[in-house]
Amino acid sequence: MAAFDNGTYAVTSAPASGKSPNRVLVIDKQGKTTHASTQEVGAIHGNATDGANAVFGAFTSAEATSGGVLVVTSNGEQRMIANPAGFGAYRLGSIYYAAAARKFIGFVATKGAYLIDLSSNQITPIYAGTDAFQCKVDYAGNRLLVLSLDGKLRVYDLASNRLIKEGNVIGTTDSGATYKPVLEATNRFAYIALPTTGEVHQINLETLATTTKHKVSAKPVRLTLLGFESSEGHND
């Protein structure tokens, strides 16, 4: 489900749970359909919204031979934006909206991170490496962070889509590991939860140095940021 600023919602529908084809319709708060689906797609996964547009990762059909994103507007208009040529039978399974940069980002671990441009109806690579396993927009939506299996963190400025910092911040990750490190970021720090050590590493985004290691649990596999960032102490 994606919420629009006008009080309606874009919601998915399927013939049965986990089955294709899929559709997206727009409903009001009472559940009444305000705009019916006009596009049939396959296996929707991942969505984000800027309040006027909702973007869903999907295959172009139930056959799942090619992918793209389904764009649904609050007034019910729908269109597919195709993945780049030669992308193969993949979909962008994670969709993010970077609020400060006003940009949509799509990610799939086997293909990398991509800019979704709604004005030009194009999907273009930001990082096209097949080794990326975590991709997150920072809390404010200014930067994109990509973590790869070799332990390297890449930081992109979303205003210019330019790589501004990269370096190894953790050890290598086994591509076959059931539980892999999890990444989140604020304006100043990246936070990486490491299931193998039971720690969350706090990494300075200016230097890419680890500033603190927080012992949290035996095997942290989820990470969520809440609130706001401050260096003030409780008694300051």
Q: Summarize pLDDT for 72-83 with one digit per residue, the tens.
A: 999 999 999 999
Q: pTM for the full model?
A: 0.92
Q: What angle do CA 80, 4, 121 make, to 5 degrees?
A: 25
pLDDT of residue 47: 97
Q: From 21, 23, 90, select the one nearest 62 (Cα to Cα).
A: 21
Per residue in 186-223, pLDDT tens? Answer: 999 999 999 999 999 999 999 999 999 999 988 999 99
pLDDT at 97 over 70: yes
Between CA 14 and CA 43 the distance in angstroms is: 9
Indicate the pLDDT class of residue 117, thresholds 50, 70 and 90: very high
CA distances 76 to 24, 117, 137, 212, Å, are: 10, 19, 27, 47
pLDDT of residue 232: 65
pLDDT at 234 over 60: no
Residue range 61-89: mean pLDDT, rounded? 95
How many CB atoms neighbour CB 222 within 10 A?
A: 7
pLDDT of residue 55: 98
pLDDT of residue 197: 95
pLDDT of residue 226: 84
Residue holding tokens 């969350």? 200
